[in-house]
Amino acid sequence: MNHTMILSWVTFIYFVSFVLYLFRLITGKKFWGRAASFLVWAGLIAQTIALLLRWKTSYSMGIGHVPLANLYESMVFFSWSIVLIYLIIEWRTKNKIFGVFVIPTAFLAMAYASIAPDINNRIEPLIPALQSNWLTSHVVTCFMGYAAFAIAFGCSLIYLLKNKKKGDVEKPEGFSGKLPALATLDTLIYQSTTLGFVFLTIGIMTGSIWAHYAWGSYWSWDPKETWSLITWLIYAIMLHSRYVRGWRGKRMAILAIIGFACVLFTYLGVNYLPGLHSYLRT
């Protein structure tokens, strides 16, 4: 079985586990939650194996490099990071409900990587600009950050959904009663945002060290650099408004959603603007 086959199975597995998380949410039966996280673990292991296989394959093709070099590989890694961070949080909080909103992002990333017509999944050789030891640390830290923000985004969606249904009072009954408590969500949004913020900061820094060695300038105002800074500033505003002005709950959720929109634009939208990060275009 080659890595492409495994990755299409992983896509399918993530979809099925999303459906199982949905069952868990609707029926309230714990069995579905356990089944869903079992599947997600299986998916993560399979995806890890697929990534390692792809890595090995590139070496047997004589153009060996870490599988983080084009849009397709970064998409697969994005989904891998989301699932990894999600499973760690699930394991620590013992809460299997917000998987309903997080696993779909991992599934969508995988589906987009395999279906989108302008993404090719061939293993390509590394152009000179990418032949650097900084490639791995830059991409890994950035995508860990993106993944943490994706989780904050998922939690924010649940928060707004739950908050919309009723005023300020939490009711234990009904559909929204089955969703995690607002306070839990608020903490999760905050914690995953701080995690993402630290990773994004390190990601921007490793990127700028790399740029220093590759382009001769640690900061070139390339659109991707600028947008990563915009994303960083949005989350900085979000954290400041929490620390200094005491913002909580709904406002934080809205900021986390705006922040994630910036993440997506930094990752995908910027590729349509001219700039130095052009190797991500198709």
Instruction: Give the binding site for another protein (CB under 8 A).
Output: 63, 124-125, 127-129, 131-132, 194, 197-198, 201-202, 205, 208, 212-219, 221, 223, 226-227, 229-230, 233-234, 236-237, 240-241, 244-245, 270, 273-274
Q: Give whole-number Cα distances, 84 to 18, 26, 103, 230, in Å.
A: 15, 25, 11, 26
Q: Which positions ≥6 away from 242 have C-beta within 8 Å?
A: 190, 248, 252
- Of residues 86 and 227, the one with the C-beta less far from another protein: 227
Query: Minimum distance from CB of 239 to another protein (Å)?
Result: 9
Query: Minimum distance from CB of 156 to another protein (Å)?
Result: 19
- Of residues 178 and 248, the one with the C-beta less far from another protein: 248
- Of residues 26 and 63, the one with the C-beta less far from another protein: 63
Residue 20 CA to residue 23 CA, distance in Å, equals 5
> CB–CB of 268/216 below 8 Å?
no
Query: Minimum distance from CB of 131 to another protein (Å)?
Result: 6
- Of residues 80 and 265, the one with the C-beta less far from another protein: 265
Query: Minimum distance from CB of 213 to another protein (Å)?
Result: 6
Alpha helices in the chain (DSSP H): 3-27, 30-60, 71-93, 99-115, 134-165, 174-178, 182-214, 223-243, 250-267
